[in-house]
């Protein structure tokens, strides 16, 4: 199994990607925003997508969308072909698209909205945190993309404040701050640990 950055060489897979997304939406009975082959092709041409292949057979896909003048990035359209599900492929694809996103847009906040518990778990492992929709991009074009979702009426009735999807966000600035904080805490923790060990292991005279 190979997971690579998609290019124009992968143009023949655009239709099966769209068909797999549409079929998954029907089977799950949940909202998945549909995409056209032309849209998928634009992501491949820009180098903003990854594709998983078993030889020449399509296995999975995911792409990057930039919103709010690049301040926000979404990893969208995650799909695994039915023949390759149950093998941990979705997690591998999410990891690759996350790495590509951090490389291409290092300062952008990465977010996603999903109804899938499996995707939520993967996002959590990557460092995403659940957030309200108000913390996500306010770019109207992004929310317009939800119009093909069967739950779009819920989003409009709540004035874009909530839906059946859960919003999740990875903030690189906050992640860096948390990392620095942990670096400071680690020496203190280790020092206290050594003191406790000496106290408990100290032999009575």
Average pLDDT (75-79) is 88
Task: Examine the pLDDT at 184 and tell me if it is beyond 70.
Answer: no
185 within domain boundaries: no
d(CA 151, CA 30): 8
Q: pLDDT tens for residues 10-46?
A: 999 999 999 998 888 776 655 556 788 999 999 999 9
Domain count, the chain: 1
Q: pLDDT tens for residues 187-200?
A: 666 777 777 677 76
201 within domain boundaries: no
Share of the chain above pLDDT 90, in %: 48
123 within domain boundaries: yes
Q: pLDDT tens for residues 82-114?
A: 999 999 999 999 999 999 999 999 999 999 888
181 within domain boundaries: no
Q: pLDDT tens for residues 117-135?
A: 888 899 999 999 999 998 9
CATH number (domain holding residue 63): 3.40.630.30
pLDDT value of residue 14: 95
Average pLDDT in the chain: 86
Confidence of residue 61 (pLDDT cuts 50, 70, 90): very high
177 within domain boundaries: no
195 within domain boundaries: no
Q: Do 76 and 116 touch, CB atoms closer than 8 A?
A: no
What domain range includes position 90? 2-170
Q: What is the 3-state secondary structure (H, E, C) of the chain?
A: CEEEECCHHHHHHHHHHHHHHHHHHHHHCCCCCCCCHHHHHHHHHHCCEEEEEECCEEEEEEEEEEECCCCEEEEEEEEECHHHCCCCHHHHHHHHHHHHHHHHCCCCEEEEEECCHHHHHHHHHHCCEEECHHHCCCCHHHHHHHHHCCCHHHHHHCCCCCCCCEEEEECHHHHHHHHHHHHHHHHHHHHHHHHHHHHHHCCCC
Q: Which of 163, 120, 134, 130 is nearest to 30 (CA)?
A: 163
pLDDT value of residue 107: 92
Task: Examine the pLDDT at 5 and tell me if it is beyond 70.
Answer: yes
pTM: 0.76
Strands 49-54 and 129-131: unpaired
Average pLDDT (150-177) is 86
d(CA 34, CA 73): 18
191 within domain boundaries: no
Average pLDDT (139-152) is 82
77 within domain boundaries: yes
pLDDT value of residue 29: 57
């Amino acid at each position: 199994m190979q997971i690579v950055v998609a290019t124009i060489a992968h143009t023949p897979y655009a239709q099966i990607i769209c068909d797999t997304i549409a079929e998954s939406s029907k089977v799950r009975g949940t909202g998945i925003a549909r995409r056209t082959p032309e849209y998928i092709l634009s992501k491949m041409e820009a180098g903003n997508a990854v594709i998983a292949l078993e030889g020449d057979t399509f296995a999975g896909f995911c792409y990057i969308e930039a919103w709010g003048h690049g301040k926000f990035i979404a990893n969208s359209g995650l799909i695994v072909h039915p023949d390759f599900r149950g093998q941990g492929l979705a997690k591998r694809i999410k990891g690759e698209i996350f790495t590509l996103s951090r490389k291409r847009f290092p300062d952008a906040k990465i977010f996603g909205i999903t109804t899938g518990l499996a995707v939520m778990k993967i996002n959590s492992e990557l460092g995403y945190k659940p957030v309200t929709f108000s913390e996500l991009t306010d770019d109207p074009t992004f929310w317009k993309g939800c119009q093909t979702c069967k739950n779009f009426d819920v989003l409009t009735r709540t004035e874009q404040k909530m839906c059946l999807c859960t919003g999740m966000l990875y903030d690189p600035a906050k992640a860096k701050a948390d990392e620095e904080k942990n670096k400071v805490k680690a020496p203190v923790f280790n020092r206290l640990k050594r003191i406790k060990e000496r106290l408990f292991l100290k032999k009575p005279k």
